[in-house]
Amino acid sequence: MNTSVKMILVLTIIATLSGGLLSFWDAYTSPKIEEYRQEEIKNAVKKVLPSAENYREDIKKSGSYTFYLGYDGDELIGIAFNIKGGGFQDIISLMVGVTPDFSRITGLSVLDQKETPGLGTKIADDPSRKGDEKWFTDQFKGKSPFPEMYYVKNKKAEAETEIEAISGATISSQAVVNILNFHIARAKEAWSNPGQSDLMQGCDDIIPEQHIKISEEDALHNVLPSADRYEKKKAGDFEFYLAYNEYKTSGMAYKSEGKGYEGPIKLLIGLESDFETITGLAVLEHCETPGFGTRILSDPSKPAAKDWFIQQFAGKKISPALTLIHNKEAELPGEIEAVSGATVTSQTIVNIINTSVPEARTAFQSIK
């Protein structure tokens, strides 16, 4: 037999048999894997809504939240939902339970994390505290997520919004706090305005005179300076602008939004194709406080480069996450210097990037 024919024949047969065997095996194992996943979610919901007697799954159409409702008799006593965000090494997936008015956390459980063994993994399980291995997540019980939670180091958390960080795992602790701050606010909006945008209101409804908007076209040139052609593509909740430079891709940009100090902040985030390096950032829309939040775009204390805050993002690395630092120059590739007087706005922008990049990356895989 001709060698080429034999090569094709043998490889085809092997690949076909392999495909057949695997599809059989997949049909056998998939239900078990799915069953386990459901079981895991169920257990987590039970854990974070400890006082509820029966549970019902309800999918609220808004954003991407699935709400699991806990009842005591007929009375709704808690809502649990799954949230995700960037940790130190990979995405942290959490199940959080809150009271129906979102004013108190009833429980927190880590579904999935790949933090540094022995350090960051303490967010889920701390073997150094015998009998109280889950102290980190347990301390969230009864805490108030509004206006914002923050972590304290090397002392007991006292205030209702204080969380004790794990020593040696500050970034992981901070990541959990950030994910909760970001998502609980969004989930609350999604819960109370089903069907609407998961943000409170547009800027126009709140403070029309402060509303600042720039065109997408101008923003695209700023965030993807090296591209000369763009192509729009939708994937999941994201709309990507793929950048081309003489027919090869040179990165992409997408829009993401979050709640700033006054109202929504809409960003256009430009990234290199590896989803790690930021090529540029533009604020498409915001209505932050004039003279304070607006300093992210024009800081009167630095007349030479008024938009230094936004400019500093170009070239920063997102792996694992951006960190906001205060009152000193950013040095490391993952550090962002906050604008003094606009800390909340600065933090919001960093949070939007940290949370949306992993989601965008996942969405992007599906169109690739």
Partner 1 sequence: MAKKVTLKEDFIKGIWKENPILIALLGLCPTLAVTISVENGLAMGLAASFVLICSSSLISLLRNLIPKQVRIASFIVIIATFVTIADRYLAAFYPDISKNLGPFIPLIIVNCMILGRQEAFASKNGIGRSILDALGMGIGFTLVLVVLSGIRELLGSGTLLGMQVMWPSFSPWMVMILPPGAFLTLGLMIGASNWINDRRAK
Part in contact with partner 1 (CB under 8 A); list of ranges 22-30, 41-49, 149-157, 219-227: 22-30
Decide whether 18 or 226 has the Cβ nearer to partner 1.
18
State in angstroms the smallest separation of the CB of 45 from partner 1: 18
The nearer residue to partner 1, 10 or 305, going by C-beta atoms, is 10
Nearer to partner 1, 218 or 274 (CB): 274
| Listed ranges 8-16, 62-70, 200-208, 280-288: which one lies at the site for partner 1 (CB under 8 A) | 8-16
Q: How far is the CB of 176 from partner 1 (least distance, A)?
A: 18
Burial classification of residue 152, based on how many CB atoms lie within 10 Å of its CB (0-12 exposed, 13-18 middle, 19 or more buried): middle
Q: Is residue 36 a contact point for partner 1 (CB under 8 A)?
A: yes
The residue among 149 and 166 lying less far from partner 1, judged by its C-beta, is 166
What distance in Å separates the CA atoms of residue 123 and residue 126, rounded to the nearest whole number? 7
x/- site string to partner 1, residues 188 to 207, per CB under 8 A? Answer: --------------------
Which residue stretch of 108-116, 134-142, 257-265, 291-299 sits at the interface with partner 1 (rule: CB under 8 A)? 108-116
Contacts (CB under 8 A) with partner 1, residues 130-169: 168
Q: Which residue has the tokens 């940290």?
A: 354
Measure Cα distances from 315 to 140, 220, 243, 264, 290 in Å.
Answer: 36, 16, 17, 25, 28
Contact present, 272 and 280 (Cβ < 8 Å)? no
Contact flag: residue 112 with partner 1 (CB under 8 A):
yes
| CA pair distance 247, 262, nearest whole angstrom | 41
Nearer to partner 1 (CB atom), residue 42 or residue 114: 114
| Nearest distance in Å: CB 33, partner 1 | 5
Point out which span in 116-124, 132-140, 147-155, 304-312 binds partner 1 (CB under 8 A): 116-124
Told to check if 114 binds partner 1 by CB under 8 A, we report: yes
Q: Which of 74, 101, 110, 116 binds partner 1 (CB under 8 A)?
A: 116
Minimum CB distance to partner 1 smaller for 47 or for 141: 47
Closer CB to partner 1, 122 or 188, in the complex: 122
State how far the Cα of 129 lies from the Cα of 113, in Å rounded to an integer. Answer: 20
Smallest gap from Cβ 156 to partner 1, in A, equals: 23
Backbone angles phi, psi at 233, to 5 degrees: -145, 140
Contacts of 161 (CB under 8 A, 6+ apart): 143, 144, 145, 146, 147, 148, 149, 150
Q: Binding residue for partner 1 (CB under 8 A) from 50, 118, 208, 290?
A: 118
How far are the Cα atoms of 50, 153, 175, 264 from residue 200, in angstroms, in the given order? 29, 32, 24, 8
Residues near partner 1 (CB under 8 A): 3, 6-7, 10-11, 14-15, 18, 21-22, 25-26, 29, 32-33, 36, 40, 112, 114, 116-119, 127-128, 168
